[in-house]
Homo-oligomer: A and B are copies of this chain.
Amino acid sequence: MSFEEKTISIETIYQGRMLKLEKQTVELPNGRQTTREVVKHPGAVAILAVKDDQILLIKQFRKAMDETLIEVPAGKVEAGEERMTTARRELIEETGLQAESMTLLHEFYVSPGFCDELISLYRAENLSESDAFSADDDEFIELQWLPFKEITALLASGQVRDAKTILALQTVLLDCNDSN
């Protein structure tokens, strides 16, 4: 069964530094026309950095909701950049750490109702201080190492309010369960 929507026309409303906003006119499977507001996003990576049964979390102010959030390190893919390169670059930029091993865990859209942002979540291991590290002047970040055994309580507390981070922490818990 195909539910595809045919694109009739695309109007670019806004082309910004990071986001592009389009108003698409589409034909539905029943032949009717409607419009879709679509945000085009370059995509992003998130990094589950693991060391000695601990996970690296960051605290960061997010202007979109005027809240400080607990998140795993993450960042946008630059034009033409391989996603694993983005992951290595962002991990260094946000935490000063480089990873010998970087493994893809999951890839997911975060807001498929209106935005094409795809996040690739990597597990980073064998971490060491990077020589290339110089903190981004305009990024204000606090680092925190969370022991595996505190993940369940942190999730239950409701303090983690970011989808990719909850998803990453759950992945660690499931992995721990499997190996027991």
Q: Taking beta carbons and an 8 Å cutoff, which residues of A are in contact with B?
A: 1-5, 7, 13-14, 16-19, 21, 23-24, 26, 28-30, 32, 34-39, 41, 44, 59-66, 68-69, 71, 74, 76, 106-119, 137-138, 140-142, 155, 158, 160-164, 166-167, 170-171, 173-174, 177
Q: From B3, B19, B39, give the contact of A60 (CB < 8 A).
A: B3
Q: How far is the CA of A23 from the CA of B19 in the complex (A)?
A: 11
Instruction: Give the interface centre of A3, A16, A113 by most chain B CB atoms within 10 Å.
Output: A113
- How many copies of this chain does one complex carry? 2
Q: From B64, B114, B119, B163, give the contact of A108 (CB < 8 A).
A: B163
Q: How far is the CA of A113 from the CA of B167 in the complex (A)?
A: 17
Chain B residues within an 8 Å CB radius of A170:
167, 170-171, 174
Q: From B16, B36, B115, B118, give the contact of A37 (CB < 8 A).
A: B16
Q: Are A4 and B114 in contact (CB under 8 A)?
A: no
Q: Are B30 and A21 in contact (CB under 8 A)?
A: no
Chain B residues within an 8 Å CB radius of A1:
142
Nearest opposing residue in chain B for A40, CB measure: B64
Q: Is the interface of A mostly helix, strand, loop or mixed?
A: mixed
Q: Are B161 and A109 in contact (CB under 8 A)?
A: yes
Q: Are B19 and A114 in contact (CB under 8 A)?
A: yes
Q: How far is the CA of A21 from the CA of B114 in the complex (A)?
A: 13
Chain B residues within an 8 Å CB radius of A71:
112
Q: How far is the CA of A71 from the CA of B4 in the complex (A)?
A: 16
Chain B residues within an 8 Å CB radius of A64:
36, 38-39, 109, 112-116
